[in-house]
Amino acid sequence: MEYSPEASWYVARIRSRAERLVQVGLYRKHFEVLHPTYQALSKRRDRQKLLTKPIFHGYMFVRTQLSPERHLEILKTLGVIGLLRNSQGPIPVPDEQIENVRKLELHVGECFHSPDVVVGDTVFVRDGPLTGLRGVVDRVNRRQLRVHVNAMPGSIVIEIDPRQIELERETMYSVVVGH
């Protein structure tokens, strides 16, 4: 198994509904933890309430200089199932993907989990709280775009106003959406 000599982010797979338990356990062991959430309105008949929901159900990000000892400490944390890995060992998450995840936390509205599928044009958000976020357009209509955002451990689909994005090509230009 290969370990990186530098501090990196890793994806921890966790038990269902054990987010708080894992987060506290890893903090107590002096790990940097990112448990990304977003704000969404509840769909109750009698009232609306702003809820905080996890972006990735069953996953949390941990930053550390991974060694056999640190890896074992993560695995011994109550609620942790394991780290995402390949045949060489745990997979570090690129910083660009962590930046995308942090920007997703600013999103108010629904996030839809989807398979990691690339359809359409690559865009970046040029306006609003998600400025700088990059993704791939999934669907377009008059009032909204569905955009796949690349982030470990898969993709997230957000709905965004088409006026807030630009097409990412060799030269940037605005997207015009027909009426």
Cα angle for residues 175, 111, 122 (degrees, 5° grid): 30
Domain membership of residue 116 as a residue range: 99-174
Tens of pLDDT, residue by residue over 81-132, are 999 998 889 999 999 999 988 988 887 776 655 433 334 777 777 777 788 8
Is 83 found in the same domain as 17?
A: yes
Contact (Cβ atoms closer than 8 angstroms) between residue 120 and residue 136 = yes
User: Given this model, what pLDDT does residue 111 score?
Assistant: 66
Tens of pLDDT, residue by residue over 38-82, are 887 777 778 888 888 888 888 999 999 999 999 999 999 999 999
Q: What are phi and psi of 150, to 5 degrees?
A: -70, 120
Contact (Cβ atoms closer than 8 angstroms) between residue 71 and residue 90 = yes
Q: Domain holding 153: CATH number?
A: 2.30.30.30
Say how many domains are in the chain: 2
Residue type present at position 23: Q
User: Given this model, what pLDDT does residue 62 score?
Assistant: 97
Helices (H), the chain: 19-28, 68-75, 95-104
User: Given this model, what pLDDT does residue 40 score?
Assistant: 77
User: Given this model, what pLDDT does residue 27 score?
Assistant: 96
Please, is 119 exposed, middle or buried when counting C-beta atoms within 10 Å of its C-beta (0-12, 13-18, 19+)?
exposed
Pairing, β 37-41 against β 165-167: unpaired
Tens of pLDDT, residue by residue over 3-46, are 878 999 999 999 988 999 999 999 999 999 999 988 877 777 78
User: Given this model, what pLDDT does residue 112 score?
Assistant: 54
Q: Token digits for 107? A: 């999103």
Please count the other Cβ atoms lying within 10 Å of the Cβ belonging to residue 20.
10
User: Given this model, what pLDDT does residue 130 score?
Assistant: 81
**pTM of structure:** 0.65
Domain boundary among 37, 59, 93: 93
Q: Domain holding 30: CATH number?
A: 3.30.70.940
User: Given this model, what pLDDT does residue 49 score?
Assistant: 84
